[in-house]
Structures are given as structure tokens and as C-alpha cells.
């Protein structure tokens, strides 16, 4: 990981507060993400990790604060705009298109990039065919990369959980995002599946230079693969820094292990 060049701040989260009625999901959260790094958000259950991700992704509209992406500040955007700007995501509870094949699921990630006329697409002629082939090649590279060649035509609903998680990642990768948001990519996996997923996340970061923001429960995994870690607890930020700094932060230790009173 030493060879990796970490760049400037690409995503800057400033003073975000999010409330649902009287429930404070997030209070005054600020952190930044630098280009090419793997940034983890950790915290116990209900700490507000997924809420944070959903704010960046445009699913929730925070009441206060702003998010700056590549110099452009926005308070709230819808998911469609976020996707157009180059932020992709995966889901904690799988949200795949279950009736569609693996190939179609990943192809759908390229929808934003398909430009040709719908009539030409239907008839598969001229530029539309060349475009379809180009996109298919890109999708095939992703399928190879994720080692799911054998399941190309299988409806995703029939795949085991670990493979569905890969398809979810593949669909997000197909967008060629600059920032990839991963919502608990290893949740519910066994040790081998976790190792595979770690490898994929590291390779994505390394080979494609994609900036990764990931939420994870598994402390071991997070400390191994991330460059910097944000720790949330009850919607507040209690720690921020390299894995080693965070590990030795007394607030973090008490949040995870409890304190004696």
C-alpha cells in the first residue's frame, strides 16, 4: 500500500446534522475523504453510519451542513444526480434486480453511459451496436475481475449471498465511479468470503484508483484495509485518524467495550 498516491480532498463533509422528528441520527459530523484512499466509517449499531452514507448518496436530506464533492458544494441532491456526478454505492441489505441476470444487473450500471438512440438500440444497428459491444466489453472485464464468469446468465436471485454481494459491487463498478460507497460489504459473510471481498476492495482501489468510503462492523477488516477511519457513536463523531490512532483512542475503546463507572 506504500506505492499508492493519496491525493487532494475529493469529498468534504461539513457539519452535517440529520434528524428524524425528535431522533437525532447525526449531530454536527465533519470529515474529509482524499482521492485514492480507503476511508472507513465505523461505530456500534445505531451509530448513524448508514445515515451518513445515505446523506452523501442523496437518499436523506440533512437539516444542516453541506457536502462538497470535487469543489462543488451541495446541501441536498437526489440519488440520480449523485450517480451522474460519479458516486456509486452498494447496499447493506442487497438491493439487486432479482429477476434479471448477473449480466443485465451489471449492464444496468452502465445505463447512464449509453447514449445512442433508442430506435437504433432496438434494431441493433450502426453506432448502437458498436456502443453496446463496447459496454459489454467493459462489463465483461468487471465480471472477470470479480470472478463470476460462470454465473453470467444466472438470475441473481438464485445466487448465494456472497456472490450476490459481488454482483452488487460489480453493478456499482460498472458506473466507473470516482467515489465508491460500500455499505457493510462484508456483513453476513464467512471468513473466506470476507477475505475475497477485502481483496476486491483493495484491488478496485489499487487498479482503478477508485476512492472508497466503506462502512464496516468488523473491526479487524477495517483496521487492515483502510487508510483512515472515522468513528461514530450515537450520531456523534468520537474519533478520526489512522487505524493505529483510532485503536488507541480512549473514547473509541469505551464506545466499543464500555467503560467502568
The distance of closest approach from Cβ of residue 216 to another protein in the complex, given in angstroms and rounded to an integer, is: 19
The distance of closest approach from Cβ of residue 112 to another protein in the complex, given in angstroms and rounded to an integer, is: 4
Binding segment for another protein among 4-12, 62-70, 86-94, 142-150 (CB under 8 A)? 86-94
Distance CA 30, CA 123 (A): 50
Q: Which positions from 64 through 83 interact with another protein, judged by CB under 8 A?
A: 78-80, 82-83
The distance of closest approach from Cβ of residue 141 to another protein in the complex, given in angstroms and rounded to an integer, is: 17
Q: Which is nearer to another protein, 130 or 199 (CB)?
A: 130
DSSP β-ladder status, 236-241 and 228-233? antiparallel
The distance of closest approach from Cβ of residue 84 to another protein in the complex, given in angstroms and rounded to an integer, is: 6
Distance CA 33, CA 41 (A): 11
8 Å CB contact between 135 and 107 = yes
Q: Select the residue interacting with another protein from 6, 46, 75, 98 (CB under 8 A).
A: 98
Q: Is 97 in the site for another protein (CB under 8 A)?
A: yes
Reduce the DSSP state of residue 140 to 3 states and report it. helix
Residue 145: which residues within 8 A CB-CB, separation 6 or more? 173, 200, 203
Q: What cell was used for 92?
A: 447493506
Q: Is 253 in the site for another protein (CB under 8 A)?
A: no
8 Å CB contact between 144 and 207 = no
Residues in contact with another protein, total (CB under 8 A)? 33
The distance of closest approach from Cβ of residue 172 to another protein in the complex, given in angstroms and rounded to an integer, is: 7
Q: Is 107 in the site for another protein (CB under 8 A)?
A: yes
Q: Is 63 in the site for another protein (CB under 8 A)?
A: no
| Sequential DSSP letters for 93-117 | S----TTSBHHHHHHHTTGGG--S-
Q: Is 89 in the site for another protein (CB under 8 A)?
A: yes
Q: Which is nearer to another protein, 166 or 171 (CB)?
A: 171
Q: Give the DSSP letter of residue 155.
A: B
Q: Is 185 in the site for another protein (CB under 8 A)?
A: no
Which of 54, 60, 62, 59 has its CA nearest to residue 181?
54
Q: What cell was used for 129?
A: 451496436
Binding region for another protein (CB under 8 A): 57, 59, 78-80, 82-84, 88-89, 91, 95-100, 104, 107-112, 114, 118, 121-122, 124, 171-172, 174-175
Amino acid at each position: 500500500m506504500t506505492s499508492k498516491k493519496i491525493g487532494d480532498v475529493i469529498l468534504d463533509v461539513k457539519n452535517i446534522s440529520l434528524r428524524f422528528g425528535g431522533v437525532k441520527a447525526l449531530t454536527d459530523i465533519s470529515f474529509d475523504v482524499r482521492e485514492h484512499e480507503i476511508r472507513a466509517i465505523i461505530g456500534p449499531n445505531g451509530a448513524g453510519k448508514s445515515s451518513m452514507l445515505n446523506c452523501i448518496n442523496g437518499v436523506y436530506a440533512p437539516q444542516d451542513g453541506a457536502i462538497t464533492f470535487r469543489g462543488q458544494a451541495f446541501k441536498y441532491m437526489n440519488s440520480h444526480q449523485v450517480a451522474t456526478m460519479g458516486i456509486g454505492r452498494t447496499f447493506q441489505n442487497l438491493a439487486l434486480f432479482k429477476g434479471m441476470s448477473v449480466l443485465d444487473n451489471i449492464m444496468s450500471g452502465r445505463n447512464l453511459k449509453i447514449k445512442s438512440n433508442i430506435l437504433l438500440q432496438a434494431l441493433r444497428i450502426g453506432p448502437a451496436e458498436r456502443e453496446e459491444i463496447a459496454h459489454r466489453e467493459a462489463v465483461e472485464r468487471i465480471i472477470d475481475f470479480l470472478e463470476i464468469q460462470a454465473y453470467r446468465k444466472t438470475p441473481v436471485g438464485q445466487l448465494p449471498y456472497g456472490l450476490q454481494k459481488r454482483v452488487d459491487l460489480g453493478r456499482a463498478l460498472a458506473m466507473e465511479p470516482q467515489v465508491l460507497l460500500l455499505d457493510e460489504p462484508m456483513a453476513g459473510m464467512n471468513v473466506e468470503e470476507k477475505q475475497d471481498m477485502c481483496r476486491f476492495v483493495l484491488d478496485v482501489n489499487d487498479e482503478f484508483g477508485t476512492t472508497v468510503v466503506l462502512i464496516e462492523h468488523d473491526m479487524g477488516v477495517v483496521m487492515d484495509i483502510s487508510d483512515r477511519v472515522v468513528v461514530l457513536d450515537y450520531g456523534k463523531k468520537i474519533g478520526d485518524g489512522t487505524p493505529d490512532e483510532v485503536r488507541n483512542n480512549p473514547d473509541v475503546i469505551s464506545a466499543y467495550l464500555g467503560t467502568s463507572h
